[in-house]
Amino acid sequence: MRHLAHLVLTCALTLPVAAGSAMADKLFGAIAFSPSTGKVGGGWNFAAKKDAKTEAINQCGVDDCDAVVTFPNCGAVAVGDGYGMGFSADKSVARSEEVALAKCDGFTSNCLVTLSFCNQAK
């Protein structure tokens, strides 16, 4: 069920999801999260961490959005009941999702990956 929900959310968000081997050197991504709404936003393929964070917060679109993770490779965030969440960064999107789900499951139930992606070489 989690995989189906993740696939639907990924397609709906039309964000780039890359295989773990397609990392980009010296590019940064970030994921922002709103604890009051559970909304997320992402910014990827930026030369500066600051720019990735700013884009993620803008994409999140809620006043209390804050960048929860910034990374050079892949990242993920999982959100569950009561907007409990977990996030992770790793060298592969699969590992990022796995760890984000595990962290979220430690706080709440019904966790789903709501956003995951890797920076991609240009």
pLDDT in single tens digits along all 122 residues of the chain? 443 333 333 333 433 433 333 445 689 999 999 999 999 999 999 999 999 999 999 999 999 999 999 999 999 999 999 999 999 999 999 999 999 999 999 999 999 999 999 999 66
DSSP 44-113: EEESSHHHHHHHHHHHH-STT-EEEEEESSEEEEEE-GGG-EEEEEESSHHHHHHHHHHHHHTT-SS-EE
**Structure-token match 């039309």, residue found:** 14
**Global pTM exceeds 0.85:** no
